[in-house]
Amino acid sequence: MKHSLGLVALVVRDYDAAIDFYTRVLEFDLVEDSYQPEQDKRWVVVRPKGTGSASILLAKATDPDQESRIGNQTGGRVFLFLQTDDFERDYALYQSRGVTFVRPPKRETYGTVAVFEDLYGNLWDLIEFA
């Protein structure tokens, strides 16, 4: 049996703002953006550049309960881990694009890591493993 993680759903407030952040700021690829008429919503998928990356389904909140989760899907814990092959390059690039880092870079035995917020406040690790 072989399994892999294909998609992770991320609740967002607005499709276009989320697409802009993930493709322009973080330089993810836009894999798909198609309208689903039977559900009156869009199927929007982005993915980090590189091989072996899971994709993110940008799922627009459709009710107050879902809206209450935007930016805090994991109760304030780091939610996603963006692995890089060059921490210094990507850290500098993201800073220049206005990404907010809430924890500065730190060298650990397992690698170099800093925590940043996406456009809604979800916490991510930017990490280069040792």
For 97-130, the pLDDT digits (tens) are: 999 999 999 999 999 999 999 999 999 999 999 9
Distance CA 124, CA 77 (A): 9
CA distance 94 to 101: 9
What does the buried/exposed string (b/e) look like for 52-75 if buried means 16 or more CB atoms within 10 Å of the residue's CB? eeebbbbbbeeeeeeeeebbebee
Q: What is the 3-state secondary structure (H, E, C) of 27-51?
A: CCEEEEEEEECCCCEEEEEEECCCC
Domain 7-62 class? alpha beta
- Structure confidence by residue, pLDDT tens digits, 1-55: 888 888 999 999 999 999 999 999 999 999 999 999 999 999 999 999 987 779 9
- Does the domain at 76-130 match CATH 3.40.980.10? Answer given as no
Query: CB of 47 within 8 A of CB of 55?
Result: yes
Domain ranges of the chain: 7-62, 76-130
pLDDT of residue 30: 97
Residue 4 confidence (pLDDT): 83
Predicted local distance difference test score (pLDDT) of residue 99: 98
